[in-house]
Amino acid sequence: LPRYLPAYFGGRDIFVITDSTVRTLYGVSLTHDLTKAGYGVWLLDIPAGERSKTPAVVQTLQNILLSAGIRRNSLIIALGGGVVGDVAGFVAATILRGVDYIQVPTTLIAQADSSIGGKVGVNHARGKNLIGAFYPPRAVFTDPEVIKTLPRSEFRNGLAEILKIALALDPRLFSWLERNRLKLRVPNVRQLTTLIRRAVNVKAKVVQQDERDVGARQVLNLGHTVAHALEKSTDHKIPHGAAVAIGIAVESEISVRMGVMWTRERVRLMRLMRELRLPVNMPPISNSSAFLRALSLDKKGIGRNVRFVLPRGIGRASTCEVPPRLITEVLGQPKAHK
């Protein structure tokens, strides 16, 4: 970063926002290197995990940045996973009506998905990502080497979002995942680079067509209607990527029952999910009416039916209205068609 930054961002104060885990792993050394390169650098961290994605944490960061004298030409660096990227990006979007920021993603979710596309924001008591903005970073610096310190479960969370991108948009990426499924259990940097590059290219293309998420981009919400309800109704005990994997399993079952996806394609999907060791079963839901309520409060939901992005095959998806009765039926029998 110290080598690349001067070309874009010479002579500015830099505020590195990270989380408590990434601070120790990479934040301290990055701050050291940037300071040595002559920048004025502040290092701020938030507690690691989804529970930091709140308006309160945003406000705390804003207070610190203003006290430290942030200016319109300062630069924010979001160093961390999707949570840091979403929070720091939202802080960058709102402070002083917007300062430049760059993403330095350190999880597979962040490198392959969340650092691309400019969606930033935080959760609200009423649901996930309800407070936010579209605010693209000036640049994204991705180094697959940092994935080596990522726990396996976090790596699988990233695979879930990549599978989502493939299932919604790109049959060739899906086939690549099938061919490389065993290598992906312990991938080397070259395989990681290919994986991330392919996912980013697919996502960037659809974001360029529909940055504001009013058309083509919406298919990337595949798996997310169920995922957001699961995260909300379990108070974020289930990580986002795992919730997306379960969401894909449930929503593809709904697709089959609505007659929009062939059973054999779902069988192929479920086989890949199992081989990638992704979770596919709904956890027991103590109060299914609360879960359904969370479903229809999802910001993508309208009216009585629940609006889902459903897979229509490998590499194809579209929005559909699903009757609540069918959802309860599928949730009651989550193991069918595996």
Ligand X SMILES: NC(=O)c1ccc[n+]([C@@H]2O[C@H](COP(=O)([O-])OP(=O)(O)OC[C@H]3O[C@@H](n4cnc5c(N)ncnc54)[C@H](O)[C@@H]3O)[C@@H](O)[C@H]2O)c1
Q: Which residues bind ligand X (CB under 6 A)?
A: 19, 21-22, 25, 48-50, 53, 80-84, 86, 106-107, 109-110, 113-114, 117, 119, 129, 146, 149-150, 154, 157, 161, 240-241
Residue 158 or 311: the one with the smaller Cβ distance to ligand X is: 158
Residue 199 or 280: the one with the smaller Cβ distance to ligand X is: 199
- Give the nearest residue (CB) to ligand X: 82
Q: Name residue 167's amino acid.
A: L
- What is the spatial distance between Cα 77 and Cα 243, in angstroms, rounded to a whole number? 28
Q: Residue 86 Cβ, how far from ligand X at the closest point, in Å? A: 5
Tokens (6 digits) for 119: 């969606």
Q: Residue 12 Cβ, how far from ligand X at the closest point, in Å? A: 24
Residue 105 or 315: the one with the smaller Cβ distance to ligand X is: 105
Beta pairing partners, 306: 322
Q: Residue 49 Cβ, how far from ligand X at the closest point, in Å? A: 5
End-to-end CA distance of the chain: 46
| Distances in whole angstroms, Cα of residue 30 to Cα of each of 24, 116, 137, 223 | 10, 22, 19, 35
Write out the H or E segment, with its range, that includes residue 43.
Answer: strand 40-46
Beta pairing partners, 123: none
Residue 132 or 315: the one with the smaller Cβ distance to ligand X is: 132
Residue 92 or 261: the one with the smaller Cβ distance to ligand X is: 92
Residue 19 or 253: the one with the smaller Cβ distance to ligand X is: 19
Q: Residue 128 Cβ, how far from ligand X at the closest point, in Å? A: 6
- What is the spatial distance between Cα 48 and Cα 239, in angstroms, rounded to a whole number? 12
Q: Residue 24 Cβ, how far from ligand X at the closest point, in Å? A: 10
Residue 89 or 315: the one with the smaller Cβ distance to ligand X is: 89
Contact in structure between 167 and 288 (CB atoms under 8 Å) = no
Residue 240 or 312: the one with the smaller Cβ distance to ligand X is: 240
Q: Residue 140 Cβ, how far from ligand X at the closest point, in Å? A: 12
Q: Residue 322 Cβ, how far from ligand X at the closest point, in Å? A: 22
Neighbours of 313 (CB within 10 A): 16
Name, in order, each residue with C-beta under 8 angstroms of 305's C-beta and a sequence gap of 6 or more: 321, 322, 323, 324
Q: Residue 311 Cβ, how far from ligand X at the closest point, in Å? A: 18
Phi first, then psi: give them for residue 306, nearest 5 degrees. Answer: -100, 135
Is 315 strand, coil or helix? Answer: coil
Write out the H or E segment, with its range, that includes residue 288.
Answer: helix 288-297
Tokens (6 digits) for 156: 């699988």
